[in-house]
Amino acid sequence: MNSTQSTQSTVTKRPANERGQANHGWLQARFTFSFADYFDPNHMGFQSLRVMNNDTIAPSGGFPTHPHSDMEIFTYVIEGQIAHKDSMGNGSTIEAGDLQYMSAGSGVYHSEFNPSDENPAQLYQVWLRPNEKGGEPRYAEKKLGESAAVNTLTLLFSGDARDGSTAIRQDAEIHFGRLDASAKLDVPADTTRPHAWLQVISGEVGVLGETLGTGDGVAIENEPKAFAVEASADAKFLIFRLS
């Protein structure tokens, strides 16, 4: 990892090509943090952020029904589609550019498959530890697609459901960013959530002295001030604000 430090904050890049990986034939996976058979004691998560998996699922491949509990689970579909079914009675197909949220709570079963028999599906699956255990499982979807606002941040999920976001069981905020090449935006200061993780979905951005390309991530710790994100190419990314 490439780390630069100042008196105010620590910025640590997680390059895409240094992530863990797995090849199961039907599944090609890259792991930002330790997961399944990939273990690295230096990459066990970041604050409440526990999993950041970048999966490519072959046509007709997928995860059969399996359980989860006490985890906040988010899926962002980059390309293709993901068909979801769960023990809460939900069943739908998530399109490219859209998101899904499932709070596993006291326990839930679900399955995820690529419904296409021709095209692969690519996604990010992200897990956050909840701030409390148990509770009834929850489910929600976020429709973004290509209609997401450009050159700004869109708040998707938060602990208090402000500004039309979906409430989650953690004092965290998840924003979607979409920037045109050469555009710049300021990420506001947040003294209650001074830690941030930025994950690049596509394109290239600069943040706090680091250049990030597709698949790169960066951990920003103890940043008391606003910081800028500037795109050198059209870019999409997720920002997690964490307490």
CATH at residue 170: 2.60.120.10
C-alpha–C-alpha distance, residues 175 and 182, integer Å: 20
- 227/243 Cα distance (integer angstroms): 17
Sign of the dihedral through C-alpha 176, 182, 183, 188 = positive
CA–CA gap between residue 113 and residue 178 (Å, rounded):
27
Place of tokens 């970041």: 46
pLDDT given for residue 8 in this prediction? 66
In this prediction, residue 146 carries a pLDDT of 76
| Number of domains forming the structure of the chain | 1
The pLDDT value given to residue 145: 81
**pLDDT value at position 7?**
47
Instruction: State the residue range of the domain holding 110.
Output: 2-242
pLDDT of residue 225: 93
> How many CA atoms lie less than 13 Å away from 134 in the CB half-sphere?
0
> pLDDT tens per residue, the chain (243 residues)?
544 444 468 999 999 999 999 999 999 999 999 999 999 999 999 999 999 999 999 999 999 999 999 999 999 999 999 999 999 999 999 999 999 999 999 999 999 999 999 999 999 999 999 999 999 999 999 999 877 899 999 999 999 999 999 999 999 999 999 999 999 999 999 999 999 999 999 999 999 999 999 999 999 999 989 999 999 999 999 999 999
pTM: 0.94
